[in-house]
Amino acid sequence: MISFETSNKAIGNDRMDLVVSQFKYDVYNFTSLGITYRFGSKTAKRGQKQAKEPVKQDYAQSYLMPETPVTVDTVQPELPVEELPSFNKVISIPSDTLTSVEPTAEKPETIATPIESKPLKIENSGYRVQILASSRQYDLLKLSNKTRILPEDIEESQFNGLYIYVTGWFKNIEEAVVARDAIRKNHATPDAWIVYFENGQRQKTIPKSK
C-alpha cells in the first residue's frame, strides 16, 4: 500500500525557527510518502495479537515554546525610609555682637628714591633731566611708580605744546650727565635726556658749561 500525506500547520508565535520576521506566526509544511507491504496471509493467526501501528508523533509540536511566557512577579521588600536632618535653620545673631568694618583704600607701594641735586645761585636756570614728554597730562603718582622717582622730585612743565616732566637742577652739564646715567640705569627710564631751563622755561638748545 502506498500512502501520501501533506499538510500545512501554523504556530501561535514566531519563535519556532529562532528567526524573528515581520509575520507574527510561523507556518511549516509536512509531507510524507509511505509504502506498506505485508508478508504472509492477510489475516492474522488466532491467538496472535495483531501488532499495533505506531502512533505518529508531531515532533515539531513537541518543541514549540508556549505562546505566553510565564512571568514571576517579585515583590521588593519595602526599605525603611530614614529622615535626613534639615539644614534649613535660621540662626539668629545678636546685633550687639556685630561690628562694622570700613574698607580701607590700599596705598601703592612707594620704592622711589630722591634725585640728588645741588641748590643753584641762579634761580630757575640750569640743567635738568627730562623723563617724559606727552600730548596729554600725566598723573605724577603713576609716573613716580613707573620711574621709581619721588613725586616731589618730578616737575611738570610745557614745551612746544607738550607736557614735559623733568627732575633735578644742575649747575653744569657734567653733573647732569651723571644724574641722567643714574636715572637710565636705576629708574627704568632708558630714554631720559638732558635739557636746559632758563627763567623757568625750557630752552631749545643746551648751552656749554661755563
Q: Which tens digit of pLDDT belongs to each residue from 122-152?
A: 458 999 999 999 999 999 999 999 999 999 9
Residues of the chain with pLDDT under 70: 14-15, 17-18, 21-24, 41-123, 209-210
Residues 6 or more apart in contact with residue 156 via CB below 8 angstroms: 137, 138, 140, 163, 164, 165
Q: 180, 174 in Cβ contact below 8 A?
A: no
DSSP string, 92-112: P--GGG-------PPPPP---
Q: How far is CA 88 from the centre of its chain?
A: 32
Contact 14, 3 (CB under 8 A): no
The pair phi, psi for residue 93, each rounded to 5°, is: -115, 130
Note the pLDDT of residue 118: 47
> What does the pLDDT look like over 96-127, one tens digit per residue?
665 665 655 565 554 555 555 544 444 589 99
pTM of the model: 0.43
| CA nearest to 127, candidates 181, 193, 187 | 193
Q: Please report the pLDDT score of residue 141 as a whole number.
A: 94
What integer pLDDT is reported at residue 94 of this predicted model?
A: 65
Reading the block at residue 90, the C-alpha cell is 535660621
Classify domain 126-202 by CATH architecture. 2-Layer Sandwich (3.30)
Whether 128 contacts 92, CB under 8 Å:
no
Strands 126-134 and 27-35, sheet pairing: unpaired
Which pLDDT score, from 0 to 100, does residue 32 have? Answer: 86
Round to whole Å and give the CA distance between 136 and 161: 10
- pLDDT of 111 reads 56
Count of CB atoms situated within 10 Å of the CB of 178: 12
Q: Which amino acid is at 23?
A: F
Give residue 122's pLDDT.
46
Domain ranges of the chain: 2-62, 126-202
